[in-house]
Structure 1
Amino acid sequence: MLRYTLMRLGVFVGCLVVVWGAVYSGIAPRGLGDSNGLWVVLLALLISAPISFVVLRKERDRASVQVARRVDRMKASLDANRSQEDVADDSARTQGQTS
């Protein structure tokens, strides 16, 4: 998961550098007034999102498999804890009835 996040961040930073260069060289329009920095960041986000979606597909699939495994382990752990509580509750009830 960390690898995917770092790769996504790298795509964004690459887009940010390209957009910054395009804006300051006059290829892309500048923002209005003092909003130029925000304009560059938003434009870089807009460009990096579809690039990440296409380029990082395999890495995203690997990360989702890891997340799914982790969720399955947590569900199994919760089910095991529930069954232990049920057994303890049942034994406490049977002991309470026999006393």
Structure 2
Amino acid sequence: MLRYTLMRLGIFAGCLVVVWGAVYSGIFPRGFGDSNFLWVLLLSLVLSAPISWVVLRKERDRASEQIVRRVDRAKADLEANRSQEDLADDTARSQGQTTS
């Protein structure tokens, strides 16, 4: 998951450099007043999202599989704990009923 995040940040940083260069060379229009930095960030985000979607498809699938495995393992652990609690509760109730 960390690898995917770093790769995504790398693509964004690359887009940021390209957009910054394009804005300051006049290829893309500048923002109004002091909003130029925000304009460059927004445009970089808009460009990096579809690039990441296409380029990082395999890495995203790997990260998704890792998350699914973790969730399945957590669910199995939770179910095992529930079973142990139910068994302990049933044992306590049956011992309580036999002694009275």
Q: TM-score, normalized by length of structure 2?
A: 0.97
**2:31 alignment partner, SS class:** coil
* Alignment correspondent of 1:38: 38
Runs of 4+ in 1 over 4 A off after TM superposition: none
Q: Structure 1, unaligned stretches of length 5 or more?
A: none
Q: How many residues align?
A: 99
Which string of whole-angstrom CA distances, capped at 9 and with x for unpartnered residues, describes residues 33-77 of structure 1? 110000000000000000000000000000000000000000000
Whole-angstrom distance in 1 between the partners of 2:77 and 2:4 = 27
Q: Structure 2, unaligned stretches of length 5 or more?
A: none
Percent identity reads: 80
Whole-angstrom distance in 1 between the partners of 2:29 and 2:97 = 81
* Alignment correspondent of 1:18: 18
Whether 2:56 is the aligned partner of 1:56: answer yes
**2:96 alignment partner, SS class:** helix
